[in-house]
Structure 1
Amino acid sequence: MGVIRVWLLLMSIMALAVPEACSELNGLRLELAHVDSNGNFSKLELLQRAALRSNHRMARLTAAASGNKVQAPVHAGSGEFLMDLAIGTPGLAFSAIIDTGSDLIWTQCKPCVECFSQPTPVFDPSSSSTFTKLPCSSNLCQALPTFRCGASGCEYLYSYGDSSSTQGVLAGETFTFGTANPTSVSNIAFGCGDTNQGSGFSQASGLVGLGRGPLSLISQLGLGKFSYCLTSLDESKNSPLLFGSLADLGATAVRSTPLRKNPTQPSFYYVSLEGITVGGTRLQIPSSTFALQEDGTGGLIIDSGTSITYLELAGYRQLKKAFLSEMQLPVADGSETGLDLCFSLPSGSSTVEVPKLTFHFDGADLDLPAQNFMIMDSTTGLLCLTIMASSGLSILGNFQQQNIQILYDLKKEVLSFVPTQCDQL
C-alpha cells in the first residue's frame, strides 16, 4: 500500500523564463506556469476547473476517435501550462498555451476580424521589421491540414475538434524565448490569426504546438527532442521545458517505450498500454482494450494539456472495481469535484493508505506514486481518483506525470521517463 498525505490541490506554478543562451541553438530551457497559477482559487475550485477543462479537451480529442470518418485531423488546442515568449522585431512579449496535441504556432494579429480578449496587446505585423508572409509553395504551407492560396499568400484554417478555430495567414517571424537570457530564432512559421473563436484560448495570447508534425515548435527548431518535468501541484515551483541537448535524462533508472504513429492523427504521441496493476494484482483487461486500431480509433496518447487520465470504459471499469475492493474507506459523492470515484476521509486523518498503481507499457512499467492518481481535499473530506472513463481514445494526463521527467525523442521515436524531483532540475 502506498501512503498519500494531505496534498494542497493546485498551488501556483510560477513562470520565470530562464532559457539557455547560446551562439548556436543546441538546447533551450523554458519555464512553464499553470494556467490557474494567478487565479487565487480555492482547492475545490481548482480541481473543478481542471476537471472541466479536461472533460472539454477530451471531448475535442474523441471527436477524432468516434466511428465516423473525419475529413481532417482533429487537434487539441487547449492546455494546462503557459510559456513566455516574444514575437517580432522589436519583440512583443506574450504568453502562449503549450499543446502536445497540435502542431501550429499561432497568435492573434491586427487587424482583427474576430478576436477574443487576451491579456497582452494583439500583435501588429506592420510594426515588425522581420515579418514575412509565406507563399503557398512553401513546404510548411503544404503541411497545413486546410489552406488556400489567396491574395495574402498562404491562408489557413486550423480547427480544434469543436467550434474552436484560428484563421489567417501563415507567416514567418523572429521569436524570442525567455527574458533573463533571451534566445532569438528567426524564420519561425506561425499562424497570424485575424479570425479566432472558441473556448479555452483566453488564458493566453496564442498557442505553441509541440506535436509531431512539421509545423510544431520542436520540428521547426530542428532539435529532435524535448522533455518536461511537472512539479507537484502542491508546490509553487517552476516546471522546466527543455529542448535539444538539455532535454536528456541524466538518471540511470530511465525506462523507454516506442512512440506509435497514427496516420489519421499524426500530431498525437501514441504509446502502447498493455496492462494495469492495482495493489499486487494485474487486472484482467483484454490486450485489445487500449490498442490502436487499423481505422485510427482507440489507442492511448500521452498529453500535457489534459489533467485527468482517461481510460477506455472496459479498462476503467476493471480499475474502478479494483479500487473499490482495495480501499478501506466508504464511497462518497464526488460529483461537485467533477470526478467519478471519491471516498470519505476519516475524521482528523492526515495520511491514508491507497493501493499501488502501475501502468504496463510496451517495454516499460510506470509505477505511480499515490499523489499522482489520488487527490485529497481536507476541506471537503474527499479523496478522489484522478482517472475517469472514456470511449474510443485513452489519455495519460498530467496529474499522472508529476515529478517524472518525460522525454519525447522524435528522431528515435521513443518516449522515455524517469522519476525526478522536478523543482531541483
Structure 2
Amino acid sequence: MFPLIFFLCSFLSLFLLPPSNIAAVSNHNKYLKLPLLRKSPFPSPTQALALDTRRLHFLSLRRKPIPFVKSPVVSGAASGSGQYFVDLRIGQPPQSLLLIADTGSDLVWVKCSACRNCSHHSPATVFFPRHSSTFSPAHCYDPVCRLVPKPDRAPICNHTRIHSTCHYEYGYADGSLTSGLFARETTSLKTSSGKEARLKSVAFGCGFRISGQSVSGTSFNGANGVMGLGRGPISFASQLGRRFGNKFSYCLMDYTLSPPPTSYLIIGNGGDGVSKLFFTPLLTNPLSPTFYYVKLKSVFVNGAKLRIDPSIWEIDDSGNGGTVVDSGTTLAFLAEPAYRSVIAAVRRRVKLPIADALTPGFDLCVNVSGVTKPEKILPRLKFEFSGGAVFVPPPRNYFIETEEQIQCLAIQSVDPKVGFSVIGNLMQQGFLFEFDRDRSRLGFSRRGCALP
C-alpha cells in the first residue's frame, strides 16, 4: 500500500508544482555551479557528535505513515552540525541571505520581516517581502499549498477572497517553531562563472515567527534559512531539477585545511565530465520519502570482509533501518551490530598506541605523537553498495583529531530498530556525489572534485 501511495504522491506532485521559470541564463549553461560556504568557528568533535545525535533523533521521529496532503516537510538542518551554506539572493531588487544546504529536508524557507521601517534589522539577516516587487504569497487553495503543513489554527480558506494566503507551520523535536506564509519569489544565484542565474516563481516558506534553539540558537550557526534538497516535490532540487536534467551534485572539500578549498553545489549535469562515476541505486522508503537511501552490502577493513548479517542493512516494514546519504550530519553512523564489528576489526589492525584517555563520546582513539603521516598506517575502510559500487574513503574521512596528537574513529552506532545508518559529510569529503533523480541512482567519484 505504501509504495502505491508514494508513487501517486510523486506523480501528482509533477502537476501541483510546475518547474521554476529561468531567466538571464544562457542556453549554453547546462548547470548551475554554486559555491558552498562554511562558517567558523567549527564545532569540536564532541560538540559535532552531540549535534549529530540530536539531529538523527529528530529525523527518526518523522518516519510515520502520513497521508499525502499532510506530508511533513520539517527540516532537520537546524539540528545538524555540519552545515554548508549557499548564498541565495531573493526578491527584486535582490536581498542576499545564507541558507543551509540540506539533503535531509524538502522545504526552502527563509527568515522574514514584515517591517516597513527596517532600520533595527541588520542587512542580510532577514528577507523583507515589502521591499520586493516580485513577492507573491500563494493562495490557500493553490495546489502548492497542499504540500506544506498547516498551523493547528489556520484560517479557513476562502476561495473567493484574493488575499486568503497559504499559511504553514512546522516544529522541531525540542519545541522550536517556524511559521509564516508560503509564497513564490524570484531568486538569483551566484555561480562560479560569475554569471547570475535568475529563477522566477520559486516556492518557499517566508517565516515571520521563529522561536527556539533549533532555528535561532548556536546550532543554526547564523543561518538565515534552509535550502531543502530532498526528494519531495517542493525541494529546491525538485523545483529546478526538470530544467537542469533533474540531478544535482556536490563536492565537499576538507574545511579544516588552511586556506580551505572551495566546495560546490551543482544543479544539473555538472558531473557529466567526470571520467569514472560509480553508481548505486537510490532506494525509496515510503515512510521517509525525503531521504536519499542506498543499500550498503558489505564493509571491509584492510581488505578483509567483515561478517555482518545482511539483514542489518535492510529497511523494515516500520521504515527503520537502511542507510542514508546526508549532507547535514557530520559523522558516520552504522547500525549497532555492524558498528561493533567495524570497531573491533579496526582495533585489531591499528598499529598506533591506543590513547590513554578517550575523547568523550568516542570509543576508539589513538595517539599519533611523533607520526608524520598517520593516515599511511591507519586501517583502511571500504564500503560495497548495491550494484557493485565500491566506496574507499581515505582515513582522514573517518579518523579525526579530537585533541592534540589524538585521533578518534569518527563513526558512531545507531539502533537500527529506531534509526538508520548515515554516510555523513565528513565521510563524503573529497568526492563528487551526484544525485540522479531521473534514473534514481547515486554516483560518486574521487576525481570529480578536481573539476575546474
TM-score in terms of structure 1 length: 0.85
1:386 maps to 2:410: yes
Provide the aligned C-alpha RMSD in A.
Answer: 2.5
Shift of 1:143: 1.6
Give yes or no for contact 1:238–1:423 (8 Å, CA) kept in 2: no
1:90 maps to 2:93: yes
**SS in structure 2 of the partner of residue 354 of structure 1:** coil
**What is the distance in 2 between the residues matched to 1:337 and 1:82?**
28
Q: Which residue of 2 aligns with 1:244?
A: 268
Write the deviation string for residues 204-224 of structure 1: whole angstroms up to 9, x where unpaired: 111100000111111111230
Q: Which residue of 1 aligns with 2:230?
A: 211
Write the deviation string for residues 245-290 of structure 1: whole angstroms up to 9, x where unpaired: 32x2423331101101111111100001111111121111111112
Shift of 1:182: 1.7
1:231 maps to 2:253: yes
**SS in structure 1 of the partner of residue 390 of structure 2:** strand
Q: How does 1:180-329 map to 2 (within 5 A)?
A: 180-198=194-212, 199=214, 200-221=219-240, 222=242, 223=244, 224-235=246-257, 236-246=260-270, 248-329=271-352
Shift of 1:196: 1.6
User: Are the structure 2 counterparts of residues 424 and 172 from structure 1 closer, same or farther at C-alpha, using a change threshold of 3 Å?
Assistant: same
**What is the distance in 2 between the residues matched to 1:145 and 1:258?**
30
Q: Which residue of 2 aligns with 1:17?
A: none
Give yes or no for contact 1:327–1:355 (8 Å, CA) kept in 2: yes
Shift of 1:55: 2.3
**SS in structure 1 of the partner of residue 97 of structure 2:** strand
Q: Which residue of 2 aligns with 1:412?
A: 439
Aligned residue pair count: 391
Q: How does 1:331-342 map to 2 (within 5 A)?
A: 331-332=354-355, 335-336=358-359, 338-342=361-365
Give yes or no for contact 1:85–1:178 (8 Å, CA) kept in 2: yes
Indicate the structure whose relative CO is greater, using CA pairs within 8 Å and at least 6 residues apart.
Answer: 1
**SS in structure 2 of the partner of residue 329 of structure 1:** coil
Write the deviation string for residues 75-109 of structure 1: whole angstroms up to 9, x where unpaired: 41335100101111111111111110001111111
Residue 367 (structure 1) aligned to one of 373, 386, 392:
392
**What is the distance in 2 between the residues matched to 1:333 and 1:164?**
40
**SS in structure 2 of the partner of residue 307 of structure 1:** coil
Write the deviation string for residues 282-326 of structure 1: whole angstroms up to 9, x where unpaired: 111111112111221111100011110001111101111111111
Q: Which residue of 2 aligns with 1:168?
A: 180
Amino acid at match of 2:168: Y
Give yes or no for contact 1:133–1:154 (8 Å, CA) kept in 2: yes
User: Are the structure 2 counterparts of residues 122 and 253 from structure 1 closer, same or farther at C-alpha, using a change threshold of 3 Å?
Assistant: closer
Residue 351 (structure 1) aligned to one of 365, 373, 377:
373
Shift of 1:161: 4.1
**What is the distance in 1 between the residues matched to 2:149 and 2:199?**
25
**What is the distance in 1 between the residues matched to 2:47 and 2:24?**
36
**What is the distance in 2 between the residues matched to 1:373 and 1:407?**
21
**What is the distance in 2 between the residues matched to 1:341 and 1:156?**
44
TM-score in terms of structure 2 length: 0.80
**What is the distance in 2 between the residues matched to 1:301 and 1:188?**
27
Percent identical residues:
36
Write the deviation string for residues 50-76 of structure 1: whole angstroms up to 9, x where unpaired: 3333222122223246xx878964641
**What is the distance in 2 between the residues matched to 1:111 and 1:153?**
15
Q: Which residue of 2 aligns with 1:122?
A: 126
Q: Which ranges of structure 1 fall in alignment gaps of 5 or more residues?
A: 1-19
Give yes or no for contact 1:408–1:415 (8 Å, CA) kept in 2: yes
Give yes or no for contact 1:119–1:205 (8 Å, CA) kept in 2: no
Shift of 1:333: 5.9
**By percentage of residues, which structure has more strand?**
1
